């Protein structure tokens, strides 16, 4: 089932990465162009849906760990995407009802569904900001963020499945630095990133094919190797187990991954700002 009608500011004739991701996750907020592009990816990498769900599960586990083990009570989720339950604030507030979350995204379709992100507990608070991650100051200095988060206290910055859509010429490392430098000591970075840096050369080649599918739809997908992903964490203290595939980051004992041995998800890690 796909989204119906044309929402203002949304081109439904071209695939969009957020709506394709929604399709991988089994959501309903996508159009025919998104289905066709996503199915082309699945035809190339049959376990693409499993990769997306592994990434989603990483976000859930990492948010739960940040709230319960690291004691974080404030979250900034950039590139939040189309709401999919459980959303980040639901996970954090299930552990700490007073947790506060600011969601940001530049996609107009996310704004249309942002109300789903604003159902906070009475003790906590959530806010949504339509903003471009390439302009960090517009996020950190916004009224929405400043009225929701206290930047003198630690914040967990969540940028899951975001930076592989930021080409090198946009300066992805500089963008992230511009966000982190405004957060206090004791804050955390939670990041996942698509990669073709895997042992199987055939799978690595398929990654390049997927990059081309996204490019045909007008979206840059930049797969980065482990060393390139590690650059995002420079100057930070990695939390164990470090940079691993998303489904290998502190997996729940009872959770069974859809991915078979040797199949990748995304590189992922959590790190603390000293």
- 192 in helix, strand or coil? strand
In a domain, 1, yes or no: no
Strand locations in 51-193 (E): 74-78, 100-105, 125-130, 156-160, 188-193
Owner of token pair 């000293």: 274
In a domain, 73, yes or no: yes
Residue 133 lies in a domain: yes
d(CA 180, CA 238): 15
Other C-beta atoms closer than 10 Å to the C-beta of 166 total 20
Report the number of distinct structural domains present in the chain.
1
Residue 80 lies in a domain: yes
> What range defines the domain where residue 192 resides?
17-273
Instruction: Please provide the distance, in angstroms rounded to a whole number, between the alpha carbons at the two ends of the chain.
Output: 46
Residue with tokens 């630095």: 177
Inside any domain, residue 5: no
Residue 99 lies in a domain: yes
Model confidence, pTM: 0.93
- What CATH number corresponds to the domain at position 52? 3.40.50.150
Residues forming beta bridges with residue 188, ordered by sequence position:
156, 272
pLDDT per residue of the chain (274 residues) written in tens, 0 to 9: 234 445 556 788 899 999 999 999 999 889 999 999 999 999 999 999 999 999 999 999 999 999 999 999 999 999 998 888 899 999 999 999 999 999 999 888 888 887 777 889 999 999 999 998 889 999 999 999 999 999 999 999 999 999 999 999 999 999 999 999 999 999 999 999 999 888 778 877 888 899 999 999 999 999 999 999 999 999 999 999 999 999 999 999 887 778 888 888 999 999 999 9
Q: Strand 156-160 to strand 74-78: parallel, antiparallel, or no bridges (unpaired)? A: parallel
Cis-peptide into 207, omega within 30 deg: no
């Amino acid at each position: 089932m796909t989204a119906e009608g044309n929402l203002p500011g949304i081109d439904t004739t071209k695939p969009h990465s957020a709506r394709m991701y929604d399709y991988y996750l089994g959501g309903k907020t996508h159009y025919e162009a998104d289905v066709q592009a996503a199915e082309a990816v699945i035809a190339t990498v049959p376990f693409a849906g499993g990769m997306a769900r592994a990434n989603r599960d990483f976000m859930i586990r990492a948010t739960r760990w940040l709230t319960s083990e690291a004691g974080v009570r404030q979250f900034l989720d950039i590139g939040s995407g189309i709401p999919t339950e459980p959303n980040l604030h639901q996970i954090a507030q299930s552990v700490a009802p007073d947790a506060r979350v600011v969601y940001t995204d530049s996609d107009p379709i996310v704004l249309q569904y942002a109300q789903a992100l604003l159902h906070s507990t009475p003790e906590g608070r959530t806010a949504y900001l339509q903003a471009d991650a390439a302009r960090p100051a517009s996020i950190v200095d916004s009224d929405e963020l400043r009225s929701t988060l206290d930047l003198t206290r630690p914040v967990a910055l969540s940028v899951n499945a975001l930076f592989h859509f930021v080409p090198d010429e946009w300066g992805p490392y500089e963008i992230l630095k511009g966000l982190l430098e405004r957060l206090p000591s004791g804050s955390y970075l939670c990041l996942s990133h698509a990669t073709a840096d895997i042992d199987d050369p055939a799978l690595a080649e398929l990654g390049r094919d997927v990059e081309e599918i996204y490019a045909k739809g007008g979206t840059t997908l930049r797969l980065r190797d482990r060393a390139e992903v590690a650059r995002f964490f420079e100057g930070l203290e990695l939390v164990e187990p470090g940079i691993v595939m998303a489904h290998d980051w502190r997996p729940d004992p009872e959770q069974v991954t859809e991915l078979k041995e040797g199949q990748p998800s995304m590189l992922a890690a959590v790190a603390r700002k000293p």
